[in-house]
Amino acid sequence: MATNILMPALSPTMEQGKLAKWLKKVGDKIKSGDVIAEIETDKATMEVEAVDEGVLSSILVADGTENVAVNTPIGVIAGEGEDASAAPAPAAEKALASASEKAPAPSAPAVPVQAPASEEIPAGTEMVVMTMREALRDAMAEEMRRDENVFVMGEEVAEYQGAYKVTQGLLQEFGPRRVVDTPITEHGFTGVAAGAAMAGLRPILEFMTFNFAMQAMDQIINSAAKTNYMSGGQMGCPIVFRGPNGAAARVAAQHSQCFAAWYSQVPGLSVVMPFTAADAKGLLKSAIRDNNPVIFLENEILYGQSGEIPKIDDFLVPIGKARVHRAGKDVTLVSFGIGMTYCVKAADELAKEGIEAEIIDLRTIRPMDTETVVRSIQKTGRCVAVEEGWPQSGVTAEIGMRIMEAAFDYLDAPVARVTGKDVPMPYAANLEKLALPTVGDVVRAAKAVLYR
């Protein structure tokens, strides 16, 4: 029986890829486990191994073809002894394929990131387009060139080039003294890095994801955050803790949670969570120069999104300043990081109904720029706060309270919030979708505060 070879999904976020090279030709015998082709994904070149056995009877997608969608038949394997020219028989995997509701989409709407209207960027500045991944890498590289005390440490940051490829190329430029692979020992290496920072070095500590920083919570909070205070200002801890935070796609309960609210409780820490590539670059450079510990929360789904970055020698975005991402007069949407994707889409939807939403990107969670939020509410009188994290004691809860304290008199409706559901992240695709906020949730909340 002939079996189709399908274009495989080779990462949690892959939807298409390039068929780089066939390693077998028509007529070749194939055993399960044989490498049959090479495929380029968004992150890497992967080898495809055969599961079915037989003879490669035809190649349906040629070497070098780009943008081949996952699950497209790329070749046919005929059972041994069969006519190698037998027509493909899609029936073999039809039963399976028909049950699949397509590869899971990333858990957030993919919004092309716009150029930020930002006071940090002088008018007329030349812009370059790059992904957030590249922007973060450039920020680290620039600061490492500028200051010999800056170094990167973490799991798989050097030889593997980063689990999510954010540190790509750093080892090649700066060598193993300054780009340091660690064993899997979060609690230990976080203490080591904090100690090095107390001695005057400036570590950039990458957590493979922030879920693993929980192993190191004590060193982050009890050591890094409090040293300056406890020493009466004699010694601080100039360190950046960075890595992907929040839900990625289908990685379930232990790997999908937002820590913005957790860290934002702690005096002595700054907490940053960029949405655009430009902010990611400018804020990371500021974080590295900061004399205090900075928690820098990135997002795997945003890594691949492109944005315009000003071509300025030393582009810095100050910590603690929000940015008006889109101007409007009817309702204020406040968010940060990946939460912004929902607001941007919701604002487009609302615009179709004649509602002009103003979007504030907090960028920094702590210290929180209440002033920029209040200024917007003075104009709109209404506010929806949005985050992917859990509701109880969340960042949106804090935003709501601050508005109560500082802008109650300007409100024409109670502040509303849209958050992730109050549950651990489920694995099943349908439940995962339900656990996250949606654009519709934001639109509904905006209309509710507008009494429409």
Binding site for another protein (CB under 8 A): 6-12, 14, 32-33, 35, 41, 43-49, 51, 70-71, 93, 95-97, 99-100, 102-104, 155-156, 159-160, 163, 181, 183-188, 211-212, 214-215, 248-255, 421-424, 426-431, 434-435
Out of another protein, ligand TPP, none, what residue 9 binds, judged by CB under 5 to 8 A for its kind, is another protein
Q: Which of 208, 295, 340, 436 binds ligand TPP (CB under 6 A)?
A: 208
Does 432 interact with ligand TPP (rule: CB under 6 A)? no
Out of another protein, ligand TPP, none, what residue 85 binds, judged by CB under 5 to 8 A for its kind, is none
Out of ligand TPP, another protein, none, what residue 112 binds, judged by CB under 5 to 8 A for its kind, is none
Q: Which residues have a catalytic role annotated?
A: 186, 255
- Residue 81's alpha-carbon distances to 36, 57, 77, 92, in angstroms, are 20, 11, 11, 17
Find, among 43, 100, 47, the residue nearest to 70 by Cα: 100
**Beta pairing, strands 383-386 & 331-335:** parallel
| Partners of 22 in beta bridges | 37
Out of ligand TPP, another protein, none, what residue 269 binds, judged by CB under 5 to 8 A for its kind, is none
Closer of 138 and 206 to ligand TPP (Cβ): 206
The stretch near ligand TPP (CB under 6 A) out of 76-84, 208-216, 260-268, 325-333 is 208-216
Of 140-159, which residues contact ligand TPP (CB under 6 A)?
155
Find, among 306, 365, 307, the residue nearest to 337 by Cα: 365
Out of ligand TPP, another protein, none, what residue 44 binds, judged by CB under 5 to 8 A for its kind, is another protein
Out of ligand TPP, another protein, none, what residue 104 binds, judged by CB under 5 to 8 A for its kind, is another protein
The span from the CA of 422 to the CA of 432, in Å, is 12
Q: Which residue has the tokens 């913005």?
A: 260
Closer of 154 and 420 to ligand TPP (Cβ): 154
CB of 378 to ligand TPP, least distance (A): 45
Q: Which of 69, 91, 184, 428 binds ligand TPP (CB under 6 A)?
A: 184
CB of 132 to ligand TPP, least distance (A): 21
Closer of 139 and 258 to another protein (Cβ): 258
Q: Which of 215, 306, 370, 438 binds ligand TPP (CB under 6 A)?
A: 215
Count, residues near ligand TPP per rule CB under 6 A: 6
The span from the CA of 160 to the CA of 141, in Å, is 17
Closer of 33 and 122 to another protein (Cβ): 33
Out of ligand TPP, another protein, none, what residue 428 binds, judged by CB under 5 to 8 A for its kind, is another protein
Q: Which of 15, 138, 143, 186 binds ligand TPP (CB under 6 A)?
A: 186
Q: Which amino acid is at 216?
A: A
Closer of 161 and 227 to another protein (Cβ): 161
Q: Which residues bind ligand TPP (CB under 6 A)?
A: 155, 184, 186, 208, 212, 215
